[in-house]
Amino acid sequence: MKFPFQNIALIGKHKAPEITGPLLRLADFLSARGLTVVVDNLTAEHLEQHSYTEMSLAEIGTAVDLAIVMGGDGTMLNIARTLSLCHVPLVGVNQGRLGFLTDLALDNMQDSIAAMLDGKFITEQRLLLSARVMRNGVEVYSGRAFNEVVVHRNNTSSMIEFEVRIDGEYLYNQRADGLIVSTPTGSTAYAMSAGGPILHPSLDVLELVPISPHTLSNRPIVVKSSSVLEILVHRTGDIQLRFDSHTSYDLQLHDKIIVTRHPDTVCLLHPTGHSYYHTLREKLLWNQTL
């Protein structure tokens, strides 16, 4: 990470014209501080006339020291998967509903970002997942995920059947609606909805959470992040492999999905005093009394 930050990218939620005003105000604020500002070209489609350089995400990855993402967690997930390969640190401004990843409030973002530009921030490295689909011994698809990789049935009433191995050792055969392999970041997303535990993002682990398993004895399991996870499809109808609910691939009978930790990480910056437990209390309404 290069600090102090000089070249900053602004990226907004795609097809969200309501970010126009706040994003341009932030751009003017940063420019007034003598910083070079570039704007994601898809975001720029919804902006009024402006004088800032427009770049694609690929260009941004090699040109900036910091990216500020304005939107919700879904926006951050998409940007993080791309910019993590270039090791660009990310700051999130929340315009969504939950905001586990985009933790700066819109109404005081300029003050928060000003403090971070002065070096008052916390750096956090988050795990990424990598998954490959092997068919007849040949890799036919691969992808990355920040939250989770999910094997699931799609538009069918039949359960799927699959086998799971960890580091080559047989774990179980399962009949279920699917299986979630989640990072600690994703533990507050789909995995939590399916009954998985909440994992602190600093933990170096992964979790496997079955989706509606056809047995009461099956439970989520947490394993070390260096584990090699293999999911073998034994019975399938309409079944997919999904990455963070953004991209998907249709699976076939006898496909093998190999899930591992990706060598790159996502670098998130938070304001000084940021607390993950405070975020949980606020977003999950744990601070409310009955």
CA distance 239 to 176: 12
- Between strands 90-94 and 104-105, the pairing is parallel
Token look-up 């209390």 returns 281
> Phi and psi dihedrals of 60, rounded to 5?
-60, -40
Torsional class of 208: left (φ above 0), alpha (ψ -120 to 50), beta (otherwise): beta
Catalytic entry in 28, 65, 73, 107:
73
Contact partners, residue 143, CB within 8 Å, separation at least 6: 130, 131, 149, 241, 243, 247, 249
The reply to whether 73 belongs to the active site is yes
Overall size of the chain counted in residues: 290
CA distance 93 to 111: 12
**Residues 115, 269, 246, 17, Cα dihedral to 10°:** 0
Could you tell me where the DSSP H helices lie in 15-174? 20-32, 41-44, 57-63, 73-83, 109-117
What residues form DSSP beta bridges with 30? none
Do 46 and 39 contact (CB within 8 A), yes or no?
no
- Catalytic positions are 73
